[in-house]
Structure 1
Amino acid sequence: MGKQINEREVVLEILMEITENGAYSHKILGDVLSKYQYLEKRERAFITRVVEGTLEHMIEIDYILNQISKTKVKKMKPVIRNLLRSSVYQLKYMDSVPDHAVCSEAVKLAVRKGFSGLRGYVNGVLRNVVRKMDEIEYPKEDVQRLSVKYSVPEWILSLWKKEYGEAITEKMAADFQKEKPITIRCCMNRVTPEVLKEKLEAEGAKVEAHPYLPYAFYLSDYDYLEGLESFQEGLFAVQDISSMFVGELADPKAGDHVIDVCAAPGGKSLHVAEKLQLADEVAARENGTEKKTGRVEARDLTEYKTDLIWQNIDRSGLGNICAVCKDASVFDEYDKETADLVITDLPCSGLGVLGKKPDLKYRVQPEDLEELADLQRKILTCAQAIVKDGGTLMYSTCTVNPGENMDNVHWFLKEYPQFELDDITENLCKELRSDVIEKGCIQFFPGVHDCDGFFIARLKKKA
């Protein structure tokens, strides 16, 4: 099929959906790229880069526009605002696109969208941006300087600076804007890491070993993920290394009954199911007995989410896992003390994954953090009752907000003294052992560690 779309118009429509209608960037971008899969790799890459880049640098872009335009960004018509934002991103960050082309294409698009009366305004603003870009003075004050430089809201930076200091705060903010390859987990029930690497390289992809885990790789230089034969065969899963450590630290034992209470799309559940299958097989060989059949029950709130889990289960080829629709914040007496291992990777502010979901930093508000911490405590209250005596509760979030992490752990230990932190040091690679907090917890920081921002705690119920 030949090209039938204008890439910049697609970018504009995506940005309108995200900034004006509340769509999630990773979801709508994925849907649009699937819809226009017939486009060349270069064209799809342009759409992805401009959408993600505009969102990543939006505070800085708005700052630049406010220095140039008499009409401030907040007062602009939404279409013009997002058209100018994506154009400024191209002018400042994409050397491969000539300035005159950015300006002329923006004017044409404004006309096509019914704003012919503003063609002179669009052209004038962008040509002034080209002329004055290098003369614009940025803020000098610390938090405001970092906010404009890295496009992170000031309240988030102030929170991090108070908790972690300025050095880690700037490392995190800078890391969110870096382009990185995706991280994948080798599905060990189907293939060895060595064979997977060979297969992916034969398919033309670039594969690099991750320093933290032997079955994790960085993957880049491929055309389309779903187009890789190795992906179609279920030989690997896309999963950040920090998320893999939930399964690594959970360390399921042969015959365990495992419940993951907020599992969608299922990456952690499947990783644990894979480890559990291996543990069952090893135990059967060593003991010369019939193989134990440990099970993983991956739960989530809606049928949409459990359908996503089932799709990934089908790809995995694992037979020891199922998906169940269930509300994690409502306790079911039937579940009481039935699980050897409970995984609670809970809804959170997502402040550790702003590099992958840049719109989150504009979406989340300070008051949301307390509401999320309350929800997390409500779910933990239900989850702890499912754990058998001597069993394990894994708690994790993809945020770097202490109120959702260590504060919750301290609250939990006070409320439920039958639990204690379980030493995780031996389950970590040597590069991470010095980062363990209070024996049973670890906080990953983007820019400090080779992964997303993420928190994990392992809690043991006393026998």
Structure 2
Amino acid sequence: MGRQVNEREIVLAVLMEITENGAYSHKILGEVLSKYQYLEKKERAFITRVTEGTLEHLIEIDYILDQFSKVKVKKMKPVIRNILRSGVYQLKYMDSVPDHAVCSEAVKLAVRKGFSGLKGYVNGVLRSVARGLDTLDYPQEGIEALSIQYSIPTWILRLWEKSYGEEVTRTMAADFLKERPVTIRCCQNKVTPEQLKKELEQEGVTVQEHPYLPYAFFISGYDYLESLDCFWKGWFTVQDVSSMLVAELAAPEAGNKIVDICAAPGGKSLHIAEKLWITDRNEAKKGEVEARDLTEYKVGLIEENIARMELENIHAVCRDATVPDEAWKEKADIVLADLPCSGLGVFGKKPDLKYRVKEEDLKELAGLQRKILENAQAMVKKGGTLLYSTCTIDPMENEENVHWFLKKYPQFSLNSIREKLCPQLAESVEEEGCIQLLPGIHCSDGFFIARLKKNGEN
């Protein structure tokens, strides 16, 4: 018989992969939870909460450790560093776990990992933290105080303050740390929103309607997605409402030819294919969506979702968006360009991005986006639409790119979007044809969309 699986050991392994080996938190945590699906719901919830919580509060946790340990966090052995980090998270944020249990389990874990010589050190640091948490002094003012309070690097906070002001910056930073339900989109080629809601509730899921779109819901109270019949029947897909708005603003018409040039895992492509299917049902001329991405792995993800949704008007293709496509020159009615970006708007779902992205990356990413936009615009036919979107709240990657694009390609103009948005969002359109969604201000991720129309007629 093998040794029983230990949740804290799994947490440590995941944190090591993310903080030391550069793995992406949402990918590796998903893989680990799938591997240990046989564990009790409570055990999987513990793994998820401690892993995500430690990452979400990492700057604060390291600040705390530096106050109580003679060896500073940066000088610690990686295994010990991550044992202590997850221990501090439990001590500060998990009342359900007794302090003595946090300390003793951390010591056992250090021994199991071959650091029996440091068990006294691990025990001493965590016991000191447990005793001194309530008396610890934090910086009270300035950008450093915000950085420690919300565990966001100072350079990001300065960028936001410059763009959005101090109050909005604090609101966004606080929102990323809030626990939130999963957002799903009803797949209306298969089921109505009313039917989906009823079926999910019969499966014991708590379902709440989203204020922005009638086919979007918040769900909670389930064990895991793959345990739900509705998931396997392809009745819904996990997707943030900000991403759903791309298809809303694309507004496909019967017979349209549509290309999504950076599509994986396919949420926006499938959504627009679904809208096209509904529009095409009674038409002789059928439209089609081509969902592209750079690698066979990403194309495989798209194909898995196409198979689950059972839509026949969409296919996946492996293609590099940085390479021009002469075969599609002025052939597409709609081009979706949801481009690689800094991800500053999705820290709530991918907390490790806060520490992964660097200030110098923004300029490089903006340049990559411009290169892809140059290829994307060439595919749009006269009278066609280009949808540019990112999951960031960085003006350089968003509004500044749009202004550059319009200057370089005067045959395009921003196209009105207010009438396609609910009243709450219509009020947030500051520049005609563009919307910047902000966490905590809007009920969504941080996200940017611009709708650009190519002048002339087909």
Candidates 375, 382, 387, aligned match of 1:382: 375
Superposed CA offset, 1:375-415 (max 9, x none): 00000000000000000000000000000000000000000
Secondary structure at the aligned position of 1:46 is classed as: helix
- Provide the residue aligned with 1:287 in structure 2: none
Which residues in structure 2 correspond to 1:163-178 (within 5 Å)? 163-178=163-178
Match of 1:329 in 2: 322
Paired position in structure 2 for 1:150:
150
- Is 1:11 the counterpart of 2:20? The answer is no
Q: Does 1:184 align with 2:184?
A: yes
2:290 partner SS: strand
Q: What is the CA deviation profile of residues 37-86 of structure 1, one whole-angstrom value per residue up to 9, with x for unaligned ones? A: 00000000000000000000000000000011111000000000000000
* Residues 1:47 and 2:58 aligned together: no
SS at match of 1:432: helix
TM-fit CA distance, 1:199: 0.3
Structure 1 vs Structure 2: percent identity of aligned residues? 71
Q: Which residue of 2 aligns with 1:82?
A: 82
Residue 111 of structure 1 and its aligned partner are, at CA, apart by: 0.7
Instruction: Tell me the distance in 2 between the aligned counterparts of 1:334 and 1:14.
Output: 44
* Conservation of the 8 A alpha-carbon contact between 1:258 and 1:295: yes
Residue in 2 that maps onto 1:294: 287
Structure 1 residue aligned with 2:247: 247
Q: Deviations over 1:418-454 (max 9, x none)?
A: 0000000000001111111221000000011000000
| Offset of residue 291 of structure 1 | 2.6
Counterpart Cα distance in 1 of 2:268 and 2:176: 23
Judge conservation of contact 1:184–1:236 (CA < 8 Å) in 2: yes
CA contact (8 A) 1:139 1:145 kept: yes
Report deviation, 1:332: 1.7
1-side partners of 2:140 and 2:185: how far apart? 43
CA contact (8 A) 1:400 1:443 kept: yes
Q: Which runs of 5+ in 1 are unaligned?
A: 285-289
Secondary structure, counterpart of 1:211 in structure 2: coil
Alpha-carbon distance between aligned partners in 2 of 1:338 and 1:3, rounded to the nearest angstrom: 60
Query: Is it true that 1:460 corresponds to 2:450 in the alignment?
Result: no
Listed as ranges, the matches of 1:254-293 within 5 Å are 254-281=254-281, 284=282, 290-293=283-286
Shift of 1:2: 11
Displacement, 1:280? 1.1
1:230 is matched with 230
Q: Which residue in 1 is equivalent to 2:410?
A: 417
Normalised by the length of structure 2, the TM-score is: 0.99
Cα distance in 2 for partners of 1:297, 1:398 equals: 21
Which residue is equivalent to 1:112? 112
One-letter amino acid of the counterpart of residue 6, structure 2: N
Task: Report if the CA contact (8 A) 1:210-1:218 is conserved.
Answer: yes
Superposition deviation, residue 258 in structure 1: 0.2
- Asked whether the equivalents of residues 376 and 404 of structure 1 are also in contact (C-alpha less than 8 Å), the reply is yes
Q: Distance in 2 between matches of 1:274 and 1:28?
A: 30
**2-structure distance, mates of 1:4, 1:109:** 13
SS at structure 2 position matched to 1:403: coil
Matched-pair contact (CA < 8 Å) for 1:352–1:445? yes
How many angstroms apart in 2 are the aligned matches of 1:67 and 1:373? Answer: 39
Q: CA deviation at 1:159?
A: 0.4
Where does residue 60 of structure 2 map in the other structure? 60
The alignment partner of 1:439 has SS state of coil
Runs of 4+ in 1 over 3 A off after TM superposition: none
Alpha-carbon distance between aligned partners in 2 of 1:20 and 1:86, rounded to the nearest angstrom = 15
Q: For residue 366 of structure 1, what is the aligned residue in structure 2?
A: 359
Q: Distance in 1 between matches of 2:124 and 2:374?
A: 58
Q: 1:293 & 1:214 partners in 2: Cα distance?
A: 26
Q: Counterparts in 2 of 1:397-436, with a 5 A limit? A: 397-436=390-429
Matched, 1:122 2:122: yes
Q: What SS does the aligned partner of 2:344 have?
A: coil
Match of 1:446 in 2: 439
Residue 292 (structure 1) shift: 2.0
In structure 1, distance between residues paired with 2:189 and 2:326? 34
Cα distance between partner residues in 2 of 1:181 and 1:321: 29
Gaps of 5+ in 2: none
Aligned to 1:162: 162
Residue 418 of structure 2 is aligned to residue 437 of structure 1: no
Deviations 1:130-185, CA, capped at 9 Å, x for gaps? 11101111112321111000000000000000110011101111011101000000
The answer as to whether partners of 1:3 and 1:39 remain within 8 angstroms in 2 is: no
Could you say if the C-alpha distance between residues 3 and 114 of structure 1 is closer, same or farther in structure 2, counting changes exceeding 3 Å? closer
The total of aligned residue pairs comes to 456
Shift of 1:334: 1.0
The TM-score with structure 1 as length reference comes to: 0.98
Q: Which amino acid aligns with 1:111?
A: V
Q: Which sits farther off after the overlay, 11-20 or 135-144?
A: 135-144
Instruction: Kindly provide the CA deviation profile for residues 179-212 of structure 1, in whole angstroms up to 9, marking residues without a partner as x.
Output: 1000000000000000000000000000000000
User: 1:3 and 1:278, CA in 2 relative to 1: closer, same or farther beyond 3 A?
Assistant: farther
* Residue type of the alignment partner of 2:110: A
For 1:356 and 1:54, the matched residues in 2 are separated by: 13
Structure 2 counterpart of 1:102:
102
Give me the whole-angstrom Cα distance separating, in 2, the residues matched to 1:396 and 1:342. Answer: 11
